[in-house]
Amino acid sequence: MIDMSESEKPVSLNSYIRLCGVVFLVVLCTTSAMIATSFSHIGDGWTLKVALILAIAVVNAFLVAGYLMHLLSEKKLIYTVLAFTVFFFIGLLGLTICATNGFPPGTVSH
Amino acid sequence: MEIPYTIETRPDTGLYNAKLGIWLFLASEVMLFGGLFSAYVLLRVGAEPGMWPHGWLNVTLGTINTLLLALSAITTLLAWAACKVRDFAKFKIFHACTILLALTFLGIKSYEYHDKLIHYEVQLTNGKFADGHLVEESKDFDLANKTGTVTLHGRIVEDEKDLMDLRSPEARSAKLDEITIAAADIKKMENYGPKHNTFTAIYFTLTGLHALHILGGTIVIFYMWAFGGAMWKTDPERFTNRIEVSGLFWHFVDLVWIFLFPVLYLT
């Protein structure tokens, strides 16, 4: 099987213009949805709203990474690099959050 | 000396070198912004109840900037596609659009920064707080010597907590007036710059670093737009690869903003 990344495939400018039009429309809709969620009265506090807004942001990010950065059809090596990045990124967030309450004995809080 | 694998792919990686290089660089960038995002989470979670600001940033301007960056990401992709079909004239048009959109983004960001830097919170000696945009300072205004007056366009509140949620019904219905305050009545006066509180500190750090990335990307794109013609004539395939690599960086910058906008402006 030939492993051909998106950048090596034959390109038609018009097909890219159509793709970009669709991506922009979806970005427009998702951005509107994020703003609407932010100003809505969902839930008691901010927790549910923040979760919803970030979920919509992930959809936006998927569009940019998948279609504009061609990540939907890239080489295996790039996926490997990204897998390591995700692992270390989660580790970075996780370790910081785990350390939030991990004060040494005798620490004075103000 | 010829640089290897600028066009043809390396047999072991299946990629040309610059493409692998930019992805490794972007991986390091993820960790850079990841550290700052985790700092944001910690600051927000650790804030005293009712002391994390809401509605301090202009959502309209943030939305316009989001759409500007999305459009610029699209014109970047189209510029690369134009190179692929060997249409240099269209490449020039698409990348000119990218540069204009990026400069507009930076212009709006500068306006937002300026708005924060002329916005003051004034702690009064009677325990109240005045908050608003600076209108004027009298010529003899000197906070250290307690002389002169300062005029703000804003309001006076009883408690600093009343300034935290600008989306609350009270804040929305508040009437803004011109307030003139004597220096003798001022205990502390501070603008909404990075040192104002943890929110403004992380806001200026995150958006400032992002704006530097936009500026750097714009300079690279401008260089290729203005001086890329020579390489295009001699080695169009290599030039196209350069456009792809700079485009990947640009898309990453867009990706970062996709998370910065909701995190800072909407939540």
Residue of A27, A37, A44, A79 to mutate, testing the B interface (most B Cβ within 10 Å of its Cβ): A27
Q: In what order do the strands lie in the sheet with B186-191?
A: B177-182, B149-157, B129-137, B119-124, B186-191
pLDDT higher than 60, residue B104: yes
Distance from CA of B255 to the nearest CA of A (A): 6
Report chain A residues whose CB lies below 8 A from the CB of B54.
46
Cα(B196)–Cα(B164) distance, integer angstroms? 13
Contacts of B138 (CB under 8 A, 6+ apart): B148, B149, B150
| Helix and strand element counts for chain A (H, E) | 3, 0
Closest by Cα among B161, B140, B157 to B149: B140
CA nearest neighbour of B112 among B65, B169, B80 = B65
Contacts of A25 in chain B (CB under 8 A): none
Segment A10-37, tens digit of pLDDT: 678 889 999 999 999 999 999 999 999 9
DSSP codes of every residue in B154-212: EEEESSGGGGTBTTSHHHHHPPPEEEEEEGGGEEEEEESSTTS-HHHHHHHHHHHHHHH
CA–CA separation, B123 vs B134, rounded Å? 15
CA distance A109 to chain B (A): 12
pLDDT at residue A1, rounded to an integer: 44
Q: Rg of the Cα trace of chain B? A: 24
What is the pTM assigned to this prediction? 0.91
SS3 content of chain B, % helix, strand, coil (to 5): 60, 15, 25
Chain B CB contacts of A37 under 8 Å are 266
CA distances from B145 to B54, B183, B187 (A): 35, 8, 12
Q: Does residue B73 contact residue A68 with C-beta atoms inside 8 Å?
A: yes
Q: Give the number of beta-carbon pairs within 8 Å between A and B.
A: 128
The domain at B27-116+197-266 falls in which architecture?
Up-down Bundle (1.20)
Nearest chain B alpha carbon to A84: B27
> Where are the domains positioned within chain A?
12-68, 75-99
Tell which residue, B195, B194, B196, B220, has the closest CA to residue B207: B194
CA–CA dist B47, B156 (Å, integer): 24
Nearest CA-CA partner of B267 in B207, B199, B213, B208: B199
Interface test with B, best of A11, A87, A95, A107 (most B CBs within 10 A): A11
* pLDDT for the residue A109: 59
**Residue A63 touches chain B, beta carbons under 8 Å:** no
Q: Is the pLDDT of residue B191 over 80?
A: yes
pLDDT of residue A97: 76
> What is the SS3 assignment for A40?
coil
* Mean pLDDT lowest among A90-99, B199-208, B228-237: A90-99
- Name every residue whose Cβ is closer than 8 Å to that of residue B206 and which is 6 or more positions away in sequence: B33, B36, B37, B40, B260, B264
Domain ranges of chain B: 27-116+197-266, 119-191
Q: Which amino acid is at A17?
A: I
Specify whether the backbone of A43 is left (phi greater than 0), alpha (psi in -120 to 50) or beta: left
* Low-confidence residues of chain A: pLDDT under 50: 1-2
- Do residues B181 and B130 make contact, with C-beta atoms less than 8 angstroms apart? yes
Q: Which top CATH class is B119-191?
A: mainly beta
Closest residue of A to B22, CA-based? A78
Q: Are B190 and B120 in contact (CB under 8 A)?
A: yes
pLDDT one-digit tens code per residue, B209-227: 999 999 999 999 999 999 9
Q: If residue B77 lies in a helix (H) or strand (E), which one and from where to where? A: helix B59-84
- Contacts for B166 with CB less than 8 Å, ≥ 6 apart: B53, B54, B55, B56, B172
Higher-scoring residue by pLDDT: B163, A43: B163
Contact A35 B78 (CB under 8 A): no
> Chain B partners of A69 at a C-beta cutoff of 8 Å?
248, 251-252
CA distance B235 to B92: 17
B39, two tokens = 């700092």
Q: Which residues of A touch B31 (CB under 8 A)?
A: 85, 88-89, 92
- Counting residues of chain B whose pLDDT is more than 90, the rounded percentage is 82
**CB-based contact A20 B74, cutoff 8 Å:** yes
